[in-house]
């Protein structure tokens, strides 16, 4: 009994939401087979999402975007959720993967973009784990879209960029880009979580970004070109993980065996 209660206590809270209740039920059923997840579901309506998130306080939200859904409405919903629950890490499950859509999804505050085509529950579980650990999830091509969009956007708010950061702020920014959460950064630097948050807010303000995803993308765009991806085989699929001078962004692209 104690071990069962302990396992539930450390489960990762995941909320599944989609405009189609059948999709919600199927995804929830798939993820509930994984012992590491505590999964609940709701329809993708603002009132239901606000209620479910407030009650369950999930770490990760899987938000569906089908071909029948309004992209504008989904982006608006994503922005509202990001403003209301800045700690929530949202993954968009989308049938469309166009350049503009991918860029806008991350700009609206998403931490992951998962391609519904050729749905793989094992890969989705890995996506959830990575995003929960503070990483950004996307295929290499999709992240390329985001970097191009980010690089072409005038940096109106940016003054001196990274050069304006203090040594400690740079250290915090580097660790965040490595995928560490605030508590891990605090432990590494022997600081309080509150102090780490203050440093992070100062970094956001000086660089001109509003969240961790934008910070990581900014650091990537400001660094040297990515190194050659290292490919390894996991579970019968080839996984391509691209890294750069900022190692926090993980790109996982499934390729045919």
Which long-range CB contacts under 8 A does 119-123 form with residues at least 24 apart?
Answer: 120/237, 120/254, 121/30, 121/31, 122/235, 123/237, 123/252, 123/254
Position 107 scores a pLDDT of 84
What's the rounded Cα separation, in Å, for the pair 71 and 77?
A: 10
Assess whether pLDDT exceeds 90 at residue 113.
Answer: yes
Position 255 scores a pLDDT of 34
Asked whether the beta carbons of 204 and 215 are under 8 A apart, the reply is yes
What's the rounded Cα separation, in Å, for the pair 212 and 200?
A: 9
Written as six digits, the tokens of 251 are 């790109």
How do residues 218-255 score in pLDDT, each as one tens digit?
A: 777 665 444 443 333 334 444 433 333 333 344 333 33
Position 235 scores a pLDDT of 41
Position 160 scores a pLDDT of 58
Q: Locate tokens 């579970």: which residue?
A: 235
Assess whether pLDDT exceeds 50 at residue 10.
Answer: yes
How do residues 126-173 score in pLDDT, each as one tens digit?
A: 999 999 988 889 888 888 887 777 666 554 444 456 788 899 999 998
Contacts of 63 (CB under 8 A, 6+ apart): 17, 18, 44, 74, 77, 78, 90, 91, 92, 93, 110
What's the rounded Cα separation, in Å, for the pair 235 and 248?
A: 23
Position 68 scores a pLDDT of 85
Give me the domains of the chain, ranges plus CATH numbers: 2-135 (3.40.50.2300), 150-222 (1.10.10.10)
How do residues 173-218 score in pLDDT, each as one tens digit?
A: 888 877 777 888 889 999 998 899 889 888 888 888 877 777 877 7
Position 91 scores a pLDDT of 96
Pairing of strands 237-241, 230-234: antiparallel
Mean pLDDT of 102-110: 88
Position 151 scores a pLDDT of 67
Asked whether the beta carbons of 216 and 249 are under 8 A apart, the reply is yes
Mean pLDDT of 65-72: 87
- For residue 61, name the pLDDT band (cuts at 50, 70, 90): very high
SS3 category, 114: strand
- For residue 69, name the pLDDT band (cuts at 50, 70, 90): confident
Assess whether pLDDT exceeds 60 at residue 17.
Answer: yes
Position 238 scores a pLDDT of 40
pLDDT more than 70, % of the chain: 76
Position 114 scores a pLDDT of 94
Position 233 scores a pLDDT of 37
> Nearest Cα to 94, choosing from 56, 151, 142?
142
Contacts of 171 (CB under 8 A, 6+ apart): 189
């Amino acid at each position: 009994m104690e071990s069962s209660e302990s396992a539930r206590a450390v489960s990762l809270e995941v909320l599944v939401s989609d405009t189609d209740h059948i999709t919600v039920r199927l995804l929830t059923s798939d993820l509930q087979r994984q012992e590491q997840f505590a999964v609940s579901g709701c329809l993708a309506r603002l009132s239901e999402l606000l209620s479910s998130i407030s009650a369950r306080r999930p770490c990760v939200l899987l938000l569906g975007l089908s071909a029948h859904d309004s992209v504008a409405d989904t982006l608006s919903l994503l922005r509202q959720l990001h403003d209301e629950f800045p700690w929530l890490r949202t993954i968009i499950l989308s049938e469309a993967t166009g350049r503009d859509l991918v860029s806008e999804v991350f700009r609206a505050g998403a931490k992951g973009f998962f391609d519904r085509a050729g749905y793989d529950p094992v890969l989705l579980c890995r996506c959830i784990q990575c995003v929960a650990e503070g990483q950004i999830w996307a295929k290499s091509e999709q992240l390329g879209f985001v970097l191009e969009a980010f690089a072409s956007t005038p940096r109106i708010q940016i003054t001196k960029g990274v050069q304006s950061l203090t040594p400690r702020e740079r250290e915090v920014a580097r660790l965040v880009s490595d995928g560490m959460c605030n508590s891990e950064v605090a432990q590494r630097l022997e600081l309080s979580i509150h102090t780490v948050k203050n440093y992070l807010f100062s970094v956001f303000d000086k660089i001109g970004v509003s969240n961790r995803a934008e910070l990581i993308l900014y650091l990537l765009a400001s660094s040297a070109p990515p190194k050659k991806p290292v490919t390894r085989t996991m579970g019968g699929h080839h996984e391509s993980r691209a890294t750069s001078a900022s190692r926090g962004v993980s790109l996982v692209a499934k390729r045919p065996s």
